[in-house]
Structure 1
Amino acid sequence: MANFVKVIQPGLSTTVQDLGRPSHQIEGFPESGAMDKFSYKLANLLVNNHRNSASLEYVQVGPSLYFNCDSFIAITGGKVQATLNDRPIKQNEVVKVNSGSILKIGQMTSGNYGHLAFSNGGVITEPVLDSRSTTLRTNMGGLDGRALQTGDSVPIRDSVVMPSLQARKIAIEPEHIQTIHFVKGPHWQMFSEEAQQQFIEQEHQLSGQMDRMGYRLKGNKLPVPEKSLLSEGTVFGNVQITRDGSPIVLLADRQTTGGYPVIATIIRADLNRFVQMRSGEAFKFVETDMKSATQALVAQQKILNDTFENWYSNRYREPIGPIRRNAIKIAELIRANK
C-alpha cells in the first residue's frame, strides 16, 4: 500500500507547491509556486529535502492530517499553535511523526502563508511542466489541480532516518514590518515626479483584495501616465498601477503578461515579508538599487547556508545520525513488544 497522509480537515486553500514553473511563462503558464519562498526553502532544509521538493502551503488556517507512515515534518511561515496527537509542537524545527499520528495545524495568529514539509522527498504527486505546484485558476498540478479536500490522500514516502535530528531547528524572530524595498520598474520614467514622490512618501495599506495572484494596495490614488502600453511580461513583485491609480503587487499566480505600467518591483529579499502582511497593515516603500537588492538576497540565503552547515557538523550526534534503517525498525519492534 502506498504511503500517504489522509486529510481530516483541509484548512484554507491548502495546495501542493514547490518553486513553480518560471521557465514556462513564455508559453503562457503562470509561474505559481510557494508564496513565501524563504519559509518554503527553510521547511525543506529542516527535513533534509532538496530545495525544490513539494510541500503543502496553507492560507491562515492549516490542515489536520492522519499519517499512515513514519515521517519527519517541519512547519514554517505564519505563526500557528500546532499539535501532534494533541501535544503542542514547535515551528521551525524537525518533528518526528510515527505512523497513526494526527497532526493539527489550525488557525494562524500572524502571517498569511504557512508551509508543511515532509521528509524523504516531500509530496510526490505527478509533475506537470516540470513542477508539482498547484495553479488553481487553470486546475493544473498538485492534487488534481485543486486545493485539498476532506478525505484526500496526499502521497509521501515513509522516513525513519534524520541526520543531526536534535540540531535541526532555527529561531525566527517576529518582526513588525514598516518598510518594503523596491527597485525602479521598467515604466518608472513614465510617471510624473509628483507620482514618483507620492509613491515613496505616502503610506500604503493592504486592502482586503488579496490572493495568490496579487495584493491590491490602498492609499491616495497615483496620477496615471496617459500613454498606452502593449502587454509585457510580468515578474513576481511587480507593482502595477491600474487606470484608477491603485497599486497592485503581482504575486505567484499572476498573469504572465500585463498592460498596466509597472512603477516598481519589490526586491526578492522583501517579498517573503510582504506576502505575510495582513489586510489593514500599513507600510512605506523605500527605493534601493540592484546591488543592494542582490546583497540583501545573498544575506538571506546565507542564513539558510549557515544553518545547514551547523546541522551538518552535528550529523553524527544522537539520537539519529547515519544509522541503518533496518536497525531503527528493529529497535521500534522491540519497544512495541516489551
Structure 2
Amino acid sequence: MTNIVKVIKSGLSTTIQDLGRTRHQIEGFPESGAMDKFEYQLANLLVNNHKNDASLEFVMTGPTLKFECDSFIALTGGQMHAKLNGQRILKNRAIQVNAGSILECGPMETGNYGYIAFSNGGIVTQPVLDSRSTTLRTQMGGIQGRALIAGDNLPIRDSVIMPSLQSRRIDWDVETSNFIRFVKGPHWQMFSDEARKQFTQQSYRVSEQMDRMGYRLNGTPLPVPSKNLLSEGTVFGNIQITRDGSPIVLLADRQTTGGYPVIGTVIKADWSKLVQMKINKDFHFIEVDMDTAMNALVAHQKILNDNYEKWYQGRYVEPIGPLRRNSIKIERLIKNNL
C-alpha cells in the first residue's frame, strides 16, 4: 500500500514545518519552522513523535486530506471544525486513521494557526539544510518550497501501533491574554523615558499586515531614536520600532539581520499567545526580568513534559491500545474474510 496522504483541498497557506533551520541563520538563511512552536510540539507529542518531526501548519482554514495508508494523527492550535469520514473529531488527542479515510479541517474559530501531526516520524520529505520546513519567500524545503496545492502527495510512514492511545489527550486551548511579556531589548536605553513609558502603558493591536515574517502592531507611534544603527542578527520575538514609530514583532520567516532599534523581545513562554492573537484584539506589553522569563518557560515546558511522562507510564495500563503490528494486521485480515 502506498504510504502517502493526498491533498484534496489545500486550505489556506498550508505548509510543511518542523522546528526550522536553527543553525543556518548565520549563513543568511531564514530560520523558518512552526510559528506556534508549543502547539506544533504538542501535536507531535500526542502521536508519539520526536519533537522535530515535520507536520502541517495551516492558517485560518485547514486542508482536506485522503489517507492511502494507516496512521494516527493529532490536530492542535486554534479551535477548528474538523471531520474524519464525516464525523466530528476533536483536537488535542491522538486519533486512529485507516487507509481510505478523508480528513476535513474547516475554518478556525479561535487563533490563527493550526497543526496536523502524523505518527511514525511525520512527513518525510527531503530535508534542506537540516530541516523540512517550508520557507515561501526563498522557495526552500517542504514540497518545492511552496504552500500545498490540490493533488500534492505527502509521504508518510504507515502506522498501526500507538501505546497509550486512549489516554493521549490533553485539555488545552490556545492561550488568550490581554498582555504579552517581554524583556528589555539591546536598544532599550536608546529610547527616551517618554517612549519607554508609552510602549508599556498603551494598548496595541495586531494589524492586517501580519504574516510569517512578522506582525506589525497598530498603536500611537513612539518617538524614535535619531541614532543610526548597524544591522544586527535577529531572533524570534524581537520587537523592532520602525522609522514611523510602529512596532513590528519578528517571527519565524523574519530576515536574518535588521537595522531598526529593538526595544524588547517577547519571552518564549508568550510566543504562542502572540502568534495566535486575532487581528484587532487589544493587548499591552509587560516588562519582566530574565528570571521571570526563564521560570515562565520552565512552567510552559512542564506541560509537555508532564503529559509525556503520563502517557509513557500509562503505556501498559488498560485499555492499552494498538501495540502489536502483526496481530492487528492478522485481525483485520480475518475480519475482511468473514
* Fold-level similarity (TM above 0.5): yes
TM-score category, normalised to shorter length: over 0.9
> Where in structure 2 are the equivalents of 1:1-338 lying within 5 Å?
2-173=2-173, 175-321=175-321, 323-338=323-338
What's the offset of the Cα at 1:174?
5.3
Work out whether residues 316 and 322 of structure 1, in 8 Å CA contact, stay in contact via their aligned partners in 2: no
For 2:179 and 2:209, how far apart are their aligned partners in 1? 20
Matched residue of 1:81: which SS? Answer: strand
How far did 1:316 drift? 1.2
1:126-171 alpha-carbon deviations (Å, 9 max, x no partner): 0000000000000000111000000000110000000000010000
Deviations 1:211-265 (A, max 9, x none): 0000000010000000000100000000000000000000000000000000000
Query: Displacement of 1:268 after TM fit?
Result: 0.3
Superposed CA deviations along residues 108-137 of structure 1, whole A, max 9, x for unmatched, are: 011000110000000000000000000000
Q: Secondary structure at the match of 2:302?
A: helix
Alpha-carbon distance in structure 2 between the residues aligned to 1:85 and 1:319: 24
> C-alpha separation between the residues in 1 aligned to 2:284 and 2:215?
15
- What is the alpha-carbon distance in structure 2 between the residues aligned to residue 124 and residue 18 of structure 1? 11
Give, as a single letter, the amino acid of the residue that structure 1 aligns with 2:70: D
Say which is worse superposed, 165-174 or 286-295, in terms of deviation: 165-174
Report deviation, 1:337: 2.2
Q: Matches of 1:42 and 1:331 in 2, distance apart?
A: 31
Shift of 1:282: 1.2
State the shift of 1:40 in Å.
Answer: 0.4
Number of residue pairs aligned between Structure 1 and Structure 2: 338
Given that residues 110 and 174 in structure 2 are in contact (C-alpha distance below 8 angstroms), is that contact kept between their aligned partners in structure 1?
Answer: no
Q: Deviations over 1:291-336 (max 9, x none)?
A: 1101101111111110011111210134545732111100111122
- Describe the SS at the equivalent of 1:107: strand
Does the 8 A contact of 2:77 with 2:174 survive in 1? no
Q: Distance in 2 between matches of 1:22 and 1:92?
A: 27
Taking the aligned partners of 1:209 and 1:60, their CA distance within structure 2 comes to 15
Q: Distance in 2 between matches of 1:114 and 1:271?
A: 15
For 2:11 and 2:197, the matched residues in 1 are separated by 42
TM-score (norm 2): 0.98
Residue pair 1:315, 1:322 contacting (<8 A) in 2 also: no
Q: Is contact 2:75–2:114 with CA below 8 Å preserved after alignment?
A: yes
Give, in whole Å, the separation in 2 of the partners of 1:149 and 1:173.
29
The runs of 5 or more residues in structure 1 that have no matched partner are none
Distance change >3 Å, CA 297–CA 225, structure 1 → 2: same
- Structure 1 residue 94, shift from structure 2 partner: 0.4
Letter of the structure 1 residue corresponding to residue 26 of structure 2: I
Counterpart contact for 1:163–1:321, Cα < 8 Å? yes
Task: Select between 322-331 and 258-267 the one with higher mean Cα deviation.
Answer: 322-331
Q: Kindly tell me: are residues 173 and 113 of structure 1, through their superposed partners in 2, closer, same or farther at Cα, counting changes over 3 Å?
A: closer
Residues in 2 aligned to 1:305 and 1:250: alpha-carbon distance in whole angstroms: 28
Judge conservation of contact 2:4–2:154 (CA < 8 Å) in 1.
Answer: yes
Counterpart Cα distance in 2 of 1:306 and 1:174: 18
Please give the alpha-carbon distance, in whole angstroms, between the structure 2 residues aligned to 1:184 and 1:247.
Answer: 14
Structure 1 vs Structure 2: percent identity of aligned residues? 67
Q: Using the TM superposition, give the Cα deviation of residue 279 of structure 1 relative to its aligned residue in structure 2, in angstroms.
A: 1.0
Q: CA deviation at 1:78?
A: 0.9
Report if the CA contact (8 A) 2:175-2:272 is conserved.
no
Q: Match for 1:269: what amino acid?
A: A
In the alignment, the residues of structure 2 paired with residue 42 and residue 206 of structure 1 have an alpha-carbon distance, to the nearest angstrom, of 25
- Going from structure 1 to structure 2, the CA distance change for 1:196 and 1:77 (only over 3 Å counts) comes to same
How far, CA to CA, are the matches of 2:175 and 2:118 in structure 1?
A: 27
SS class of match (1:111): coil
Measure, in 2, the Cα distance between the counterparts of 1:5 and 1:320: 27
CA–CA distance in 2 between the matches of 1:318 and 1:151?
40
Structure 2 stretches of 5 or more lacking a match?
none
| Counterpart AA for 1:209 | Q
